[in-house]
Structures are given as C-alpha cells and as structure tokens.
Chain A
Amino acid sequence: MGRLGDWRQRRQHNRRRSLWRDALGRLLRNRAALLASVLLLLILLLVTAGPLLSPWDAEIPDWDKASMPPDLSSRHWFGTDAIGRDLFVRVLEGGRVSLLVALLATLVSLVIGVSYGAVAGYFGGRLDAMMMRLVDILYAMPFLFFVILLMVIFQRNILLIFIAIGAINWLDMARIVRGQTMSLRHRGFVQAAEAIGVQPGFIISRHIVPNLLGVVVVYATLTIPQIMLMESFLSFLGLGVQEPATSLGALVSDGAQEMQTAPWTLLFPASLLALTLFCFNFIGDGLRDALDPREHL
C-alpha cells in the first residue's frame, strides 16, 4: 500500500492544481496586490456609501465657511472649498464619477477589443492582415488630440465622451486577444468543435472568448487607471466634467489654484486619485504575474 498510496495521493494533489488555483495561490502570496485589493475595496465602499456619513451636501455652497481647513467639530472632515462646499463629500463624489466613467470606458474598450481581436485571430489570413494593418495605422494617431476633438463635438457630455474614449482605446486589447486566439484556435477543443460543424461565431463566443478571460481581466485592470488618468487630465484642462458635477481631475485642478492658501483642497483629491491609481496598478501587476508567471515589465 504505502508507496502506491503515496503516489496516488500525490497524483490527485497534482491534478487539483488547475491554472486558476495556481494563479489564486500566487496572487494570495503577492502581499502588495493583496493589500491593494483590500484598499481598493475600502475606496469603493467609501465613495459609494461615504457621503451618507456626512451631514453636508456636495453642491450646496455655504459662503460664510469658504476655504475652511479640516475641522472635526463641524464635521467638515476635509475642510471646505473656495465657495464653502464640504470637501469630504465632494472628493467622494468626484471619486465615484472618476471610477464610474473609467469602468464604463473600459467596458466599451473591452467589448470592441475582444471581439475585434478574436475575429482577426480566429479567421487569420488576409482578413487578419487587413484588420491588423488598420490597428497599426490607428496606433500612429495622436490619440489625445482626437479625444479633445470629440470633446468639442459632444459638447462635454461626459458619458458620451467616455464611451468614445473606450471606442478609441481598444487597440492594445485587440492585439493581445488576437495573439491569444491564434494559439487557442489550434487546440483540440476548438478543432473538435470545427469538426462537428459548429458555426465560427459560436466557436468564438463559446470556446475562444471564455478562454481569454485571464488576459482580458489583467488588461482591463490596467486599462482602468489609464482611463482615470485621461479623465483627470481632460478635467484638469477644463475639457472634462463641468460644474456643479465634479471628478477627481476637476477637484485637483481647483485645488492646484488655491494650494497656497488652502493646501487641503489639493491634498485630499490628489491623494485619493494617486491611491486609487496605485491600487489598480498593483492589482493589475499582481494578476499578470499570477496568471503568467514569466517575468514582465
């Protein structure tokens, strides 16, 4: 029994080590990524539920209390801005807008990038060459300048703008997905599906795309901070979210103008922005290392 039992046990143990289980194990061992995930959850909780904790409203100014430093007794935990609005509530509002907009744009870029890349990679040949040449050409476009053009066209409707940003920002995703699809399409299960006459569209949506989940998750996590940066960048230039609505970029821009007299108006939104970006970058890095343990940048 002894030896054989050992061997059986070990074999069963080995069999249980699936790709995802391995990945999860590696992710849990990555303390930075774990910490970042917890922090990010806290941030998400705070921006959704946080404003309920404060008695103040994000949009009602109180002229008597303009530019007040943080003060616990009046429950202006982050102080007030130049026209007396509570900064705590505004920062959380801004964080929510920034996150929401980034998630939405990422979703759009995901849908376009995955379907484009999967189609190009699955069919290959001349179609693939053409589709990828188009991606090459689009890569050479000065991206931000087009975003600014879109800004002018959409009259600063923030949702439309970010759908548009997502619609431009799918090139990386398409390239990565294409590469993965090309290696998947020669695998047994895809060829089996082809052999029994399954339609290409069905193969792509049922067999290829689910197997792309890993890379897609990783690059989505890395796309979100990119788009958050872009949003704050545009808002900073005055081309993004318009008053009284706000976003982290708009708050940083306001804060930068008053940092000499009221540094807290810069400090709080800037910290939340940097912290959120930090979390997403660490999680994305951790996920990438976990799913594909080769060395990456």
Chain B
Amino acid sequence: MLRYALERLLTAIPTLLLLITLAFFLIRLAPGGPFDAERALSPEIEQNLNQLYHLDEPLPLQYFRYLGQILRLDFGPSFQYRDWTVNQLIAQGFPVSLTIGGLALLLGLLAGVLIGMLAALRQNHWLDYLLMSLAMAGLSIPAFVLAPILVLLFAVHFGWLPAGGWEWRLQYMLLPILTLAMPLVAYVARLTRASMIEVMRTGFIRTARAKGLPLHQIVLRHAWKPALLPVVSYLGPAAAAVITGSVVIEKIFTIPGLGTYFVQGALNRDYTLVLGVVIFYGMLIILFNLLVDLLYAWMDPQIHLDSREGY
C-alpha cells in the first residue's frame, strides 16, 4: 500500500509540471499585456512596471523564476489587485468556494447513491422510471438555468431565502449548494443504479439470498462495496466538475469565491492570478485523485497495487 501510494505520488510530479508549463506558456501567447486596461501610461512607467514584475526578462528565465516560486508555494503578487498577493486572494476566496463545493460534493454523493440504490432495487418499477427520468432531467438542465428559476421561486416569490450575496449562514449557502449538487446527484444516481443492478446479479449475492438473508442486510453487508466502486472512481472528475461549476454558481449568486476572482483575472489578463488559480486547483485535483486511488485500492480487493495496467 505504501509503495503504491509513493508510486502514485511520483506520477503526480510530471503531471504538475506539465500543468504549470502549459498554463504559463499559454497565457503568454495571449495578445495584450496586464497593463493594457489603464489608459495613458507613460513608457517610463510601463517599463518600470515591467521591470518590477520581471516581464522584461527573456521568457525561459521568467519561467524558471516562476517554477522556483511555485516550489515555495508563492504565487507572487496580483497584477490587477494592487497591494494583494495571489496567495492572499486565494486565502480570501478559497474558504468560501471550499465550503460550497465540499458540501455540494457531499450532498451530491449521498443523495445520488441513495437514489441510485433505490432505483436499482426497484428495477423497472414505476419508481425506477420516475427517478431515472428525474436524473436525466438533472443532466439536461444546466445549473445556470435552474439557479435563476430557484431564485425566482424561493427568493423573489416566497422570500424565504436571499437571492444572492454571501454571509457565513445557512440561508446564503442553501441555493448555491443545491444547484451545484444537482447534476452530480443525477450522474451519481445513474452510475450507482447501473453498477448496483450488475452486482445484484452476481453469484455471491445469489448465495446471500439463498441462505435467506433479508434484502437490507444483503445491501448493507455485501452489495454496497462493489456497487460503489464506479462512484469512487468518478470522485476525481466529480471534484473537478464541482470546481468548474462553482465558477458559474458564484457568478449567479454573487459569491466572493475563488471562481469569481478567476473569471475577473482572465478578463483582466491578470497573469499571476490566473496562473495561480489554475495551478492551485490543478494541485488540488491531483491530490484528490491520489486520495481516491488509495480509497479505491482499499475497497477493491482485486486491484493489483504493483502494476498500473488498469484500463
């Protein structure tokens, strides 16, 4: 197990390096500099600014300087938010994004698994059809369509919840979490249903039935573990989807999270901020995937920890 973990950790390093390199050079390809927005900068000032941020150096030198910074987990100063470092901006926005995203992920998994199991145990029953139609709707209605409708309903019409903004209170979190979790619930439910149906047909479940174990015990003791394997391997993409989704959700509900900073940064060509956020989230996803791999190895007795030929 330890060796496997170490090996996975080692493959994470080239991944991270590629991420940083790609992001760094891609953003330098973009026309327009970070100081374009300000009008009437005199050439001297612009030169000074470029010097201050090392933008006058040759690109390879800038690249290695940046790599060195990242090693020290220092994302540098922000170009647009003066007096702020990217680290400070991340420290400001990320707790908000993490709270919403984490709770949405948790809700999506719990609700999705429960719905999927229920549908599988009632396969081809009206309840199954109903739940799966709802799941299909959940996949087809984008969050940014659902969110305004929910706002219209619960905030404007009933006035139960605030329409947007942010405070560390449940009322402010409820709608964002619900809309963020919805596509996840739908996808996880479909995933769970399919694999649960397959598991319930296998020999060891038939054995459990033959010896007269009641259904709830079959599910709780035997079926859940193999049935959840596809869900576990979906966790990585799920986390990425939540992070992506949070960008839109934060915009709709005007939440000051990291996604908001990112979109602003992209529009303003705030090199360091955009790079910082991409790399920060990339690291997060890589770390999360590592944890998921370990969880998978623990859950699936058939996985071969030493060989990585698992396609």
Contacts and interface: CB of A to CB of B under 8 A. Distances in A.
A137 B262 contact: no
Given A137-B14, A144-B244, A256-B252, A239 B144 contact: no
Q: Chain A interface secondary structure, helix, strand, loop or mixed?
A: helix
Interface stretch (B47-55, B85-93, B216-224, B280-288): B280-288
B23 A146 contact: yes
B145 A274 contact: yes
Interface string B284-300: 01100100000000000
A142 B142 contact: no
A152 B30 contact: yes
A42 interface: no
B64 to A, nearest CB: 21
A266 interface: yes
B248 A142 contact: no
Contacts of A270: 145
B240 A143 contact: yes
Most B C-beta atoms less than 10 A away, residue of A144, A236, A255, A285? A144
A145 B281 contact: yes
Interface string B183-213: 0000000110111011000000000000000
Interface string A212-236: 0000000000000100010011001
Nearest to B284: A142
Interface residues of A, number: 50
B262 A148 contact: yes
Interface in B9-43: 11-12, 14-15, 18-19, 22-23, 26-27, 29-31
Nearest to B198: A295
Contacts of B190: 297
A178 B136 CA distance: 28
A146 B251 contact: no
B140 A141 contact: no
Given A255-B148, A273-B145, 19 more contacts: A133-B11, A140-B286, A140-B289, A143-B240, A145-B278, A149-B266, A233-B142, A236-B144, A236-B248, A236-B251, A237-B247, A266-B149, A274-B137, A277-B141, A278-B137, A281-B140, A285-B136, A295-B194, A297-B190
